[in-house]
Structure 1
Amino acid sequence: MTSTVHNPAELLRDTLEEQFRTHTDQLTELTVFSRQPDLGGYDRDTLNGLIASARQGVADAAQALRRMSEGTYGICERCQASIPVGRLEILPHARFCVPCQQKQVG
């Protein structure tokens, strides 16, 4: 029996690609519902919120995958420090380390 050992970058890429597919599928389904409201069972405000969330998910995953291909993934956009793998495992599309994220929000 053999087992495949993945490095964190491979696992994170797989996670991001899966998130991209999932959000794209959600966006496709929600777009159909927006054109035929009786199918989805959502009120207009809820549907618009779900569409916005799915779009943001697609954009976040796509941007993280782009950063991977450019070699800048896992580097804080504010201080240029490495973002810990633990943070990236929790939030694979993270653009900032925790201290810089707190400064960004606060």
Structure 2
Amino acid sequence: MTSTMQEPVELLRDRLERAFAVHTNRLTELTVRGPATDPATYEAQVESARHGVANTAQALRRMSEGSYGRCEACGTTIDWQRLVAVPHARRCSHCR
């Protein structure tokens, strides 16, 4: 990662860390509270929170490993605009 990208990537890291906290808190809340609505809606909410936790955790792991911003499919650099829009993106626009 180039030094010119370092500062903006730190901003994305902050966004990802906040998103991770939000998803984790939501999953905890759902687990403690249990189904307040119909079971199908509850399961969808739990699955959405789990998906959010997994996506953000994987993106943060890639950052720490130094592979963040590289497409997992073709290895090219993921466009900055895509990372801003989807900070947990694993694939470039072409491979998604």
TM-score, normalised to structure 1, is 0.82
- Aligned-residue sequence identity (percent) comes to 55
Residue 7 of structure 1 deviates from its aligned partner by: 1.8
In the TM superposition, structure 1's runs of 4+ consecutive aligned residues that sit over 4 Å from their partners are none
- How far is the alpha carbon of 1:33 from its aligned partner? 2.2
> Can you list the C-alpha shifts for 1:18-53, whole angstroms capped at 9, x where unaligned?
00000000000111122xx4xxx3111100000000
Match of 1:3 in 2: none
- Structure 1's unaligned 5+ residue stretches are 1-5, 102-106
Q: SS state of the match for residue 100, structure 1?
A: coil
| CA distance in structure 2 between the aligned counterparts of 1:21 and 1:9, rounded to whole angstroms | 18
Partner of 1:81: 76
CA distance in 1, matches of 2:9, 2:57: 15
Rounded to whole Å, the distance in 1 between the matches of 2:95 and 2:79 is 13
1:69 corresponding residue in structure 2: 64
> Which runs of no fewer than 5 residues in structure 2 stay unpaired?
1-5
Letter in structure 1 aligned against 2:21: R
8 A Cα contact 1:20 1:57, kept in partner: yes
> Within the alignment, does 1:7 sit opposite 2:7 as a pair?
yes
Alpha carbons 1:78, 1:100 under 8 Å: kept: yes
Once the 2 structures are TM-superposed, how far is the Cα of residue 12 of structure 1 from its aligned partner? 0.4
Is 2:46 the counterpart of 1:48?
Answer: no
Aligned residue pair count: 91
How well do the aligned residues superpose, as a CA RMSD in angstroms?
1.1
